[in-house]
Amino acid sequence: MTNNIFIEESYYEGELLTKRNSFHENSDKPIKVEVFKYDQFENVIEDSTYFVVMDMTATQYYKYSLDNNNNWVTQVKKENNGSLVVTEREIEYFE
């Protein structure tokens, strides 16, 4: 059985991850490249992953419903195949 070791190279703008490359241990060419885009509230709105070997890109899009403090309470993720995944969360604030 062989163990695959992967190396990741990450790029940030401030604290936001904008790009991540994944490599096999002994290669200088990425096997996967992920690119992230954000809205003004630092929520991911687009996540594109390019799979080099398959020459294929999978992109997920996100939309949010925000509460009065601009935190998302509903996230709708549209998968590359068109399916939707809805995530809801409840945030309790203390004064």
User: CA 3 to CA 48: how far, in whole Å?
Assistant: 27
Token digits of residue 82: 């068109």
pLDDT band at 2 (very low <50, low <70, confident <90, very high): low
3 pLDDT band (50/70/90 cuts)?
low
Taking the CA atoms of 49, 51, 55 and 58 in sequence, report the sign of the dihedral they define: negative
* pLDDT at residue 30, as a whole number: 92
Indicate whether 1 pLDDT > 70: no
Residues in the chain: 95
58: tokens are 């999978």
* pLDDT value for 76: 98
The 3-state DSSP class for residue 45 equals strand
> Full-prediction pTM beyond 0.95?
no
Helix (H) or strand (E) segment spanning residue 6 = strand 6-13
Q: Torsions phi, psi of 86, nearest 5? A: -105, 125
Residue type for position 71: N
Query: What does the pLDDT look like over 24-78, one tens digit per residue?
Result: 888 889 999 999 999 999 999 999 999 999 999 999 999 999 999 999 999 999 9
